[in-house]
Amino acid sequence: MALAGLTTEFQIYYEKLGEGTPIVFLHPPGMSHLVFAYQKSLSLACQTIFPDLRGHGRSTVKDQGTFTIYDLAEDVADLLDHLLIDQAVICGYSSGGLIAQAFAIKYPERTKGLILSGGFSEVSTFTLKKQFQTGIRLAKSTPALLNQILVNTHSNTEHEKKEMFFYHKQTDRPTWVRFYQESMSFNCTEKIKEWQFPLLFLYGDQAEYMHYYRNLYQRNVHQRAQFVMLAKALHQLPIKHFESFNSEVRRFVSSLT
């Protein structure tokens, strides 16, 4: 557990556990490293790195109203530099996957592998657009309500709900809103055709509104990419279906060594 002093004025909080192949886990807007609490057990097989993105959790705020998804990806690169890591597996959950993809586009040589859980390369469907628009509206007007909604859908116990609710209250509101806005305008669909590194895509079979994006990836990425549908699962795979999620991550990482 440490703060990475990326600059004299900007710090990223992260937790690093285990040894071996490094994996960086990236969370969605308004959340934190706590979303990956069930992935800490993966540290028995590899090196796990769980940052709070800028303006989230214990990380400080930088460029509230002007940053892009690529700036968030640059934060990841700076964190890896701080940790003296040349190459890592990048795992993004939901909108955290946009940062993972931006990193892979900017630094393909540093991307040992890419894992997207409920990933999308653009926000182009009616349902996903509505989700982001609602997120922006609530983050601006009633962030406590949005925090509660996110906590309720990303926890398994009352203790987790309480811990997440109070920790996520630290999220900087303008950063939260900006993250949503930049996610809506981000589009890397043409870029994914260039990827040559190992790819793992995880989706819940019951999260039907995300299946459009799974098909989009299947049409555009290389044929060696792995696609896994977790049974009886919705979107919150790292939390609600962590055993299957972790098993797939372990299998993927072991194939890289």
Per-residue pLDDT of the chain (257 residues; tens, 9 = 90+): 555 555 556 899 999 999 999 999 999 999 999 999 999 999 999 999 999 999 999 999 998 889 999 999 999 999 999 999 999 999 999 999 999 999 999 999 999 999 999 999 999 999 999 999 999 999 999 999 999 999 999 999 999 999 999 999 999 999 999 999 999 999 999 999 999 999 999 999 999 999 999 999 999 999 999 999 999 999 999 999 999 999 999 999 999 97
Q: State how far the Cα of 218 lies from the Cα of 227, in Å rounded to an integer.
A: 8
Give me the phi and psi of 149, to 5 degrees please.
-60, -45
pLDDT for residue 65: 83
Q: State how far the Cα of 164 lies from the Cα of 30, in Å rounded to an integer.
A: 10
pLDDT for residue 257: 75
The structural architecture, per CATH, of the domain 2-254 is 3-Layer(aba) Sandwich (3.40)
pLDDT for residue 64: 83
Return the half-sphere exposure (C-beta side, CA atoms, 13 A cut-off) of residue 25. 26
Among residues 104, 78, 109, the alpha carbon closest in space to that of 92 is found at 104
pTM: 0.96
pLDDT for residue 247: 98
C-alpha distances (whole Å) from 69 to each of 11, 22, 40, 139, 182 are 18, 22, 26, 18, 6
